Structure 1
Amino acid sequence: MKDVQSEKDERRLPLKKVGIKNIEWPLKVLDKTKGHQYTVAKISLSVDLRHDIRGTHMSRFVEVLNNLKMLSPAALVEILAEIKDKLRAEKSYLNICFPYFLWKESPVSRLSSPLKIQAVIEAESSMMSTITMGVQVPVHTLCPCSKEISEKGAHNQRAIVEIYVRSKKMIWFEDLAEIAERSASSPIYALLKRPDEKFVTEMAYNNAKFVEDVTRDVALELEKDKRIEWYKVQVTSFESIHNHDAFACVEKGMTEN
């Protein structure tokens, strides 16, 4: 059959990325405590395209995914290399996003239940391979200003802590999630009995934090970890008494204006 994708293109315009986006894929991933767990990921794969080639062979991206047995740093490097080889490209790119479950005990009743976080991996291969991993973790924040000016209570809400890192050695999703929870007013739990609710409510009230506080506290924790070469932190608070969200962001290497 005629290979239309490989036809010569006369427009002489290279493309930075061509590929497939948001294919849903069953995936086995490493788990720090249980060895592994199963999930369903959304995966995007792409390569650069030379100026003289009309198109790429999209089916080859899926063929490469068929060889993925378990997600690991070594598997990511292998996928990127195989994509470049199959598609005769100089650069390859990968983005994976999937739900990841942490089994957490409620603080008083000690009942265990799964908490869903979002795991994110971005990887790129050209002359060298780079892997950025991240988590999006739900937490609880309580407003210090509201607490200060109110006679009773303070407005509080869920927030999302996003942490993205590049590191010298492997870092577990669980490690990043723990930093996010430790830096918030309180962790979030799937299952809470009344004594647990009392504990969490009082913990948050005694640990009031703005999104700015949480963002800085997470960054300081990441700075202590010598494995981490780069990080980005963003915290978004889904405000309970405003019709907008509040957020703060920091990235390693920032300089003051």
Structure 2
Amino acid sequence: MSSRPTPPLPDVAHDAAALARPLDWVGMERIALPVRIADAEGRPVQVAASVDAAVDLRDAGARGIHMSRLYLQLQQAFAAEAVTPPGLRRVLQGFVESQQGLSSSARLCVRYEHLLLRPALESGHAGWKRYPVEISAELVEGHFRLWLAFAVEYSSTCPASAALSRQLNAERFAQDFAVARPLSAGVVSEWLASERGLAATPHAQRSRAAVRVELRPAFDELPLLPLVDAVEAALGTPVQTAVKREDEQAFAELNAANLMFCEDAARRVAAALAADLRVAAWDVTVAHFESLHPHDAVARVSGRNG
């Protein structure tokens, strides 16, 4: 066995850059990582996430950042606590400090799928629904900003198609009762419940509202569940999980009560977000995956609160 000391490992990242220039962001994307998030009762649960992490390289002459330090800090931070606004700020501050003067800003993005147990409309059953979530945070020169993005699926029934269907239903009624005969509530009710009572149906389709909000930094928790609830309530027709006949009938009733074009849906979601004190700014895109057309109907709206 040789007693000769082991030479230090080479580190060419400390060499001077061949072309001196500061860089906006340097880091890693799509890091596989388990993270803890709060469930509907506020209890931490572990989920699989994809994480992006980066810092700026303000030293124009430095060849690179200490990238492994970002990775190790991510593992340590998310293993210890659930994702919260204060926790994200601490992680970003740790990123900057780990670079020992090379950086002054940091950013982070966490993507995962959030499962929520949603009750059926009438039957008392419940089922799990999946919501894609993206949490983005940025610390630039000590200024912290935080964004939360998610998507909600719902049903949209076309108001124009509904009006055209009602016209055909009325025409068939007039046709079937053209010959004078005694009318009563029972006779009309029986006719409406028969196949003759439905001459046409409006077209409806699964639709999607993609929401991205900038959150005010005054709150310690991520308000995912309240925001999802507010958006689904504004739309009125969120897609269902466990469904019995009574639930399907109730869903059909909700669709009739919430006829909407994509423009209507965008305005509904915007109104709900504009009323939330936790939201500083918002951007909404709704898409109706048309059953009438081979293309989608899309509307987008954005704004700031206060």
Coarse TM-score class (shorter-chain normalised): over 0.9
* 1:80 aligns to 2:96 (yes or no): no
2:104 match: 90
| 8 A contact 2:265–2:286 mirrored in 1 | yes
CA RMSD of aligned residues (A): 1.8
What letter is aligned with 2:204? N
User: Among residues 132, 135, 147, which one is paired with 2:147 in the alignment?
Assistant: 132
Q: What is the CA–CA distance in structure 2 between the aligned matches of 1:222 and 1:15, rounded to whole Å? A: 35
| 8 A contact 2:280–2:304 mirrored in 1 | no
The count of aligned residue pairs is 254
* 1:153 aligns to 2:174 (yes or no): no
Matched residue SS, 1:17? strand
| 8 A contact 2:33–2:75 mirrored in 1 | no
What is the identity percentage for the equivalent residue pairs of Structure 1 and Structure 2? 27
User: Normalization by structure 1: what TM-score?
Assistant: 0.92
| CA shift for structure 1 position 95 | 0.8
1:110-139 residue CA offsets vs partner (Å, 9 max, x unmatched): 101111111111110022111111221111
What letter is aligned with 1:45? A
Q: Which has the higher strand share?
A: 1
User: Among residues 104, 123, 139, which one is paired with 2:137 in the alignment?
Assistant: 123
User: Normalization by structure 2: what TM-score?
Assistant: 0.78
Q: What is the CA–CA distance in structure 1 between the aligned matches of 2:233 and 2:71, rounded to whole Å? A: 39
User: Among residues 46, 63, 66, which one is paired with 2:75 in the alignment?
Assistant: 66
Q: 5+ unaligned residues in a row in structure 1: which ranges?
A: none
Alignment of 1:75-224 (within 5 A): 75-87=87-99, 88-127=102-141, 128-150=143-165, 151=168, 152-165=200-213, 166-167=215-216, 168-169=218-219, 170-224=221-275
Q: Which has the higher helix share?
A: 2
Moved more, 227-236 or 38-47: 227-236
1:27-85 residue CA offsets vs partner (Å, 9 max, x unmatched): 11012425233211111001112321222233222101111132111211111111111
2:197 match: none
Moved more, 111-120 or 217-226: 217-226
What letter is aligned with 1:232? D
User: Among residues 43, 60, 64, which one is paired with 2:51 in the alignment?
Assistant: 43
What letter is aligned with 1:71? V
